Amino acid sequence: MSTKEHYLISDFNRLVAADALAQSYVLFGESYTARTYIGERLLVLLEDGTTPLLDGYALHKNSEGTIGIDDARRAIAWLWQSPFRAIRKSVFVADGEAMTTEAQNALLKVVEEPPKAGLIIVSVKDLGALIAPLVSRCERVYVSSIFAPQTKKDEAMLAMEKVGVEFVRGNVSARRKIIGDLLKIEGDIEEFVRAVLRECRRDPIKNVHLMGRITDRWAMMSQWNVNKKLQLETLVEA
């Protein structure tokens, strides 16, 4: 498989539209920000530009700074599920260098015999960070630093991401307080939903029920004139 010197977003647009994507890609290049931008952008393209994502899962290193076998198994279990909205169920491994050898070998087995509707994207600075068989079986895409977005997350977005983490990991009381505070200050509910789903995808098997509930509630709030407070309160129970 040949290396693409500059794989533009428009190229991915074309491949998505034609359902001609490969089953697996390795994004490599100097800029972590650029690679992450392209990887996350591809997840959005797969869902026709609609967010929050329902079928895309971004896998980052855990609190120990690694992506271990258990992390890989959760991602693999996600890949074998049927897509809800996108044409592919996808996993973007944003911190490919952090994968242990065990995790890489587990991923290799899926790359060799992938689910029909699955897509794996691994991001690394240098291809040498991955085991050779995994690299050889993936479409390799060089990502130039020109793809790095010019803007950074603002403080409000970072604060909402923290709220999302606290909500997913919190008990009933903590969740009720978060929703109450969000409604009291008329916070950005869409950004809250995004933050919760991002945190849920760190362990999609454990959080599958919460992901389903928040997706359903957000669909109701987006399409109908419903009481947002009542819709959000259905998410309180763990």
Same domain, 128 and 93: yes
> What pLDDT, on a 0 to 100 scale, did the predictor assign at position 19?
81
| Run of H or E residues at 216 | helix 208-223
Among 147, 172, 204, the domain boundary falls at: 147
Q: Is 174 helix (H, G, I), strand (E, B) or coil?
A: helix
pLDDT along the chain (238 residues), means of 10: 48 81 92 89 86 87 89 93 90 95 96 92 95 95 77 63 87 87 73 86 85 83 72 74
> What pLDDT, on a 0 to 100 scale, did the predictor assign at position 151?
52
> What pLDDT, on a 0 to 100 scale, did the predictor assign at position 193?
86
CA distances from 45 to 16, 48, 86, 125, 175 (A): 7, 5, 9, 23, 31
Domain span at residue 216 reads: 155-233
Q: Give the side-chain half-sphere CA count within 13 A for 23.
A: 18
Q: 129: domain CATH number? A: 3.40.50.300
Contacts of 199 (CB under 8 A, 6+ apart): 161, 164, 165, 167, 168, 169, 207
Residue 201 lies in a domain: yes
Q: Which stretches within 137-201 are classed as H helix? A: 155-169, 172-184, 189-200
Same domain, 176 and 142: no
Cβ(34)–Cβ(146) under 8 Å? yes
CA distances from 10 to 6, 97, 148, 161, 168 (A): 11, 27, 15, 29, 35
Residue 222 lies in a domain: yes
> What pLDDT, on a 0 to 100 scale, did the predictor assign at position 2?
38
Same domain, 83 and 186: no
Same domain, 64 and 130: yes
Place of tokens 């100097």: 30
- Number of independent structural domains in the chain: 2
Same domain, 102 and 142: yes
Q: Is 199 helix (H, G, I), strand (E, B) or coil?
A: helix
